[in-house]
């Protein structure tokens, strides 16, 4: 796994954005897997700036988000569709019909929605680059600890730990969903390239386990050790639990020299 350790979250956003920008330049009709959460907001800001300056266009790009709350209307301010519109889609030239989230209302069959989502990904040639954040418990998407490492898109129940971590984003007394539709771990592993972004000391334990822990569903992100093309961009705070972080820094500096 390529590991890039940056001084701070801003630098991490720049490094990660650079990887996405160079992919779009190389392949203007690429398929991006996208993530929500606080972590990628800075990265989306860099992408928007790159679009505004004319460096990059999203006009032929397709996107698939990792997850969406179950039975939440796309207009709801807590929906991930709303988040994506606010932070990226409405600010660049992406075609709305090329943006996908696993949206599932209570009236639909979750199994059917999940199947269609997987089929649409395939129909567009698969995901070229999947952007990921990481949960404090090592989840990716909403694949909580205990998720099958071969799982596909489906409905998941969120753990108390995740609900607690995300409660900061909800007002007091506001309804917080406990179910979400998420790409499976297997779906994520099918992406040609994975870019995982993590910042802050609250992510350091999960990052340590992801990189050098055993491969286990107790830390779903650890399966990324089996993926041939992963880049982890993390700030120094998120790197403190990596046993040999010096080695990763040396390795990256050699890579840049070669």
102 scored as a contact of ligand GLP (CB under 6 A) = no
Nearest CA among 205, 200, 229 for reference residue 138: 205
138 scored as a contact of ligand GLP (CB under 6 A) = no
Among 12, 50, 127, 134, binds ligand GLP (CB under 6 A): 134
Give residues with Cβ within 8 angstroms of 229, minimum separation 6.
192, 193, 194
Considering beta carbons, is residue 30 or 132 the nearer one to ligand GLP? 132
Considering beta carbons, is residue 69 or 89 the nearer one to ligand GLP? 69
What is the C-alpha R_g of the chain? Answer: 17
Interface pattern 8-47 for ligand GLP (x via CB under 6 A):
---------------------------xxxxx--------
Cα–Cα dist 63/97, whole Å: 10
Instruction: Determine the interface stretch with ligand GLP among 9-17, 110-118, 132-140, 216-224 (rule: CB under 6 A).
Output: 132-140
SS3 of 177-224:
CCEEEECCHHHHHCCCEEEEEECCHHHHHHHHHHHHCCCECCEHHHHH
67 scored as a contact of ligand GLP (CB under 6 A) = yes
194 scored as a contact of ligand GLP (CB under 6 A) = no
**65 in helix, strand or coil?**
strand
Angle between helix 41-52 and helix 80-87 axes, rounded to 10 deg? 40
Size of the site for ligand GLP (CB under 6 A): 14
What is the closest distance, in whole angstroms, from the C-beta atom of residue 188 to ligand GLP in the complex? 10
Residues labelled catalytic: 67, 137, 139, 144
Q: Which residues bind ligand GLP (CB under 6 A)?
A: 35-39, 66-67, 133-135, 141-142, 162, 166
């Amino acid at each position: 796994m390529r590991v890039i350790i940056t001084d701070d979250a801003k630098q991490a956003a720049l490094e990660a954005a650079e990887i996405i920008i160079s992919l779009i330049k190389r392949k203007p009709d690429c398929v991006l897997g996208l993530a929500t959460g606080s972590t990628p907001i800075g990265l989306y800001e860099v992408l928007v700036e790159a679009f505004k300056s004319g460096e990059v266009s999203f006009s032929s790009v397709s996107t698939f988000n990792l997850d969406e709350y179950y039975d939440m209307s796309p207009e709801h301010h807590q929906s991930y569709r709303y988040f994506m519109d606010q932070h990226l889609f409405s600010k660049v030239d992406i075609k709305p019909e090329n943006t996908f989230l696993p949206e599932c209302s209570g009236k639909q069959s979750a199994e059917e929605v999940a199947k269609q989502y997987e089929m649409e990904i395939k129909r567009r040639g698969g995901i070229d680059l999947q952007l990921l954040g990481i949960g404090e418990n090592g989840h990716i998407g909403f694949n909580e600890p205990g998720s099958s490492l071969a799982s596909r898109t489906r409905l998941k129940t969120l753990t108390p730990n995740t609900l607690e971590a995300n409660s900061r984003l909800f007002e007091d007394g506001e309804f917080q969903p406990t179910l979400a539709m998420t790409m499976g771990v297997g779906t994520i592993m099918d992406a040609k390239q994975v870019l995982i972004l993590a910042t802050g000391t609250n992510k350091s334990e999960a990052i340590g386990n992801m990189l050098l822990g055993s491969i286990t569903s107790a830390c779903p992100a650890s399966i990324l050790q089996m993926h041939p093309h992963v880049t982890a961009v993390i700030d120094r705070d998120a790197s403190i639990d990596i046993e040999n972080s010096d080695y990763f820094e040396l390795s990256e500096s050699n890579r840049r020299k070669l």
